[in-house]
Amino acid sequence: MKQLTERLADYAVAERDRPLATSLLHHARRALIDWFAALLPGTLSPPATLLASALADEMHLPGTQAGAIVYVNGRRANLRTAALINAAAAHTVEFDDIFRDAVYHPGSPVIGAALAAAQARGADGEALLRAIIVGYEISTRIGLAVMPSHYRFWHTTGTVGTFGAAAAVASILNLEAGPFAHALATAATFAAGLQQAFRSDAMSKPLHPGHAAAAGALAALAAAAGVTGALDMLDGPAGFGAAMSEQPDWNAALEGLGERPAIAAMTFKNHGCCGHIFAAIDAMLALRAGHGLAPEDVVRARVGTYRVALDVTDRPHAATPFEGRFSTQFCVASALVHGSVRLDAYSPGRLADPRLQALMQRIEMVVDPDCDAAFPRRRSAVLELELADGRRLRHLQPTRKGDPDCPLSDAELEAKFIELSLPVIGRPAAAKLLASLRSLGRGAPVDFLADFSRPALALAG
């Protein structure tokens, strides 16, 4: 009987020659558009800028056309270096996509690795889209199998993302089923990423998808050269599942594999913060719009949510952008004061806004039993407000705007792309890049994306 890694590899190889439905290509392009929306503002900030400096000796001289593009500086690098830096940049501003049921951001590691591999190996747009689909499918399936206990200590994007990157690069390399399975097996022993990384103000969290992209790429490259892995690494007695999950359900990794593609069920972020806060933000925006609320109207607010949201985002004080992005109190207060939680929410003026800081102290978080029982398949919140005029308001937000059951439309996703990319590359380049991503497919080179790195645009302008 075949090992689990081999069965996943068989799916991936069969997918390579299967005609791609128009709807599936559309979902893959949406994921790529969203990835660039998150990537571009991340290229302006640490840790990506610092990684580009630290790894400068792994990049080619300016003007060299070989290798993959590092979008922080427009230079070329080897596949693994470009994957690491770009994947980290795509996770920095907390706007990258989510596979809700596995508490996982697949875009940063999978697309970071797939795009670098496609550029380094001269693959076309259709090969890139196929690799993204396969990387999402295999990694989300593994994520489903080890959840929810995996998320107690591990950051799924760093761990499960390694499989997605390995699968995507193996797809670009056209690995046959045997080497493909070995790539997944090796990826399992490379997988890492601890939750403590984002429970305090640090740059480690974006490094998780960066490491996943680079480690997954290494696993695939090594397998292509003949390096073998332990094929029972996923479900063996001392393997990934046994070490990182209490009761892994490997049937979940195989049930309906390729029939209900994960990439068609993605959450695209509508707010620039930790996804565990979204339902509470949506609830506050609904009450704000429905009752014309102002900050001074609210005497006390209570956010009822699930336990993980409390553990990760109960942060009543926020002085830095990192703290703000992981503070339910800050984000819910921002939603009431400013009507949105986007990139400008973390400017020094907003962070120090006395109205916002005062409102934060009037917001408490509690575990709501119903919200907790529904996690992770549903992300809900209950917001209760006590107003100065004596009224009490309550709003149940059963899901998040952007989740598969309440998705962003194409127009909303593209508006997000323009909003986030325009300050980085300007309106003409943003419009051109969006048009290119919309039509990406067979025969379309992926190297043209070099035109959209900041240095390339500076030279052109």
User: Domain for residue 31, yes or no?
Assistant: yes
User: Domain for residue 403, yes or no?
Assistant: no
User: Residues 408-425: what's their mean pLDDT?
Assistant: 95
Residues 251 and 292 in one domain: no
User: Domain for residue 412, yes or no?
Assistant: no
Res. 461 pLDDT band, cuts 50 70 90: very low
User: Residues 119-127: what's their mean pLDDT?
Assistant: 96
User: Domain for residue 88, yes or no?
Assistant: yes
Q: Which of 350, 375, 397 is the last residue before a domain boundary?
A: 397
- What pLDDT digit, counting tens, does each position of 325-363 carry? 999 999 999 999 999 999 999 999 999 999 999 999 999
Residues 99 and 141 in one domain: yes
Specify the pLDDT at position 1.
84
* String of DSSP letters for 314-364: --S---SHHHHHT-HHHHHHHHHHHS--SGGGGSHHHHT-HHHHHHHTTEE
Structure tokens at 425: 């590359």
Residues 230 and 314 in one domain: no
Specify the pLDDT at position 384.
98
pLDDT at 216 > cutoff 80: yes
- What pLDDT digit, counting tens, does each position of 51-103 carry? 999 999 999 877 677 899 999 998 999 999 999 999 999 999 999 999 999 99
CATH no. for residue 303? 3.30.1330.120
Residues 89 and 169 in one domain: yes
Question: How far apart are alpha carbons 147 and 275 in whole angstroms?
Answer: 17
User: Domain for residue 426, yes or no?
Assistant: no
Give, as one character, the DSSP assignment of residue 426.
-
CA atoms within a 13 Å half-sphere pointing along the CA-CB vector of 311:
10
Residues 255 and 284 in one domain: no
SS (H, E, C) 110-142: HHHHHHHHHHHHCCEHHHHHHHHHHHHHHHHHH
Residues 253 and 286 in one domain: no
Question: How far apart are alpha carbons 307 and 328 in whole angstroms?
Answer: 13
With CA atoms as reference, report the closest residue to 115 among 260, 225, 123, 295. Answer: 123
pLDDT at 455 > cutoff 70: no
Say what the pTM is.
0.94
Question: How far apart are alpha carbons 29 and 26 in whole angstroms?
Answer: 5
pLDDT at 400 > cutoff 80: yes
Share of the chain above pLDDT 70, in %: 97
Question: How far apart are alpha carbons 131 and 170 in whole angstroms?
Answer: 8
Neighbours of 444 (CB within 10 A): 15
Three-class DSSP category at 369: helix
Residues 281 and 260 in one domain: no
User: Domain for residue 305, yes or no?
Assistant: yes
User: Domain for residue 420, yes or no?
Assistant: no
Residues 266 and 287 in one domain: no
Please report, to the nearest 10 degrees, the dihedral formed by the alpha carbons of residues 406, 363, 276, 352 taken in order: 100
Residues 444 and 367 in one domain: no
Structure tokens at 374: 């529904």
User: Residues 234-248: what's their mean pLDDT?
Assistant: 97
Residues 93 and 154 in one domain: yes
Residues 332 and 370 in one domain: yes
Q: What is the CA angle 410-411-413, rounded to 5?
A: 65
Q: Which residues form the domain of 212?
A: 4-270+434-452
Tally the domains of the chain. 2
CATH no. for residue 254? 1.10.4100.10
